Amino acid sequence: MTDFKKIVLFGPQGSGKGTQAERLSGFFGIPQLAPGNIFRKAVAEATDLGKKVELILKQGNLVPDEITNAIMKERLEQEDCLGGFILDGYPRNKTQADELDALTNVSHVLLFKIPDQESVHRLSQRRVCSHCGATYHLEFKKPVQENVCDFCGHNLYQRDDDKPAAISKRLKIFHQETEPLLVRYEQRAILYTIDGLGPIAEVWQRIQDVFKQVHD
């Protein structure tokens, strides 16, 4: 049994990886680090980096690796990551994976597999709170009251990122740039493939089986 977990989650958009990352974070008591959230926080706080990120995102571009790596390094060096962490959405390409390897030793890599068609379908069901940023899913994680946030009572909306054109673009990037990274983790025997189809509770069970298998 390792005393800390440095977990990286891979999976296409809509694979349920974010939801399972939240569960894992609660289960192991370690932070979930998603670049999207870290970027949004930097933008909201209008830090130097945040201002740069805001402009890039407004133009509809991806944040360059140099900025992504810098912001993730800063985050990984914070005290709450000492006991482990869950990376959700990083690394996305070879440059980022090389940087992560230089920074730390990853202990587990989970790949969530679902067909592209299912990604598109699931994302079309995703809604976000306009006020607090809480995320919902019309099929798997419904708000108690339709179109209203459970936490703060504000309206929910569909992010531009969750519309078909943006989804296709990101799926393509996932297949071309992210999937080829898995080889390095497979070679280290730390890659576990999780079937992402089915209810959240079933997928969660599959994840628990992986950690049981590793540590029993």
| Among the residue ranges 81-89, 116-124, 128-136, 191-199, the one whose residues contact Zn ion (CB under 5 A) | 128-136
162 within 8 A of 176, measured Cβ to Cβ: no
- Active-site option among 51, 159, 172, 188: 159
Q: Judging by DSSP bridges, how do beta strands 5-10 and 32-33 pair with one another? A: unpaired
Q: Is 152 in the site for Zn ion (CB under 5 A)?
A: yes
109 binds Zn ion (CB under 5 A): no
Q: How far is CA 101 from CA 2, 10, 95, 161, 207, in A?
A: 19, 16, 10, 29, 23
Q: Closest separation between CB of residue 156 and Zn ion, Å?
A: 8
**Contact in structure between 70 and 77 (CB atoms under 8 Å):** no
The yes-or-no answer on residue 17 being catalytic is: yes
Name the residue nearer to Zn ion (CB basis): 109 or 129.
129
Minimum CB–partner distance for residue 47 and Zn ion (Å): 23
Nearest approach, Cβ of residue 43 and Zn ion (Å) = 18
User: Is 149 near Zn ion (CB under 5 A)?
Assistant: yes
Angle of helix 48-58 versus helix 65-76 axis, rounded to 10: 140
Residue with tokens 């992402």: 196
- Interface region with Zn ion, contact rule CB under 5 A, candidates 19-27, 28-36, 40-48, 147-155: 147-155
What is the C-alpha end-to-end distance of the chain, expressed in Å? 8
Binding footprint of Zn ion on the chain (CB under 5 A): 129, 131-132, 134, 149, 151-152, 154
Catalogue the active-site residues: 17, 92, 126, 159, 170
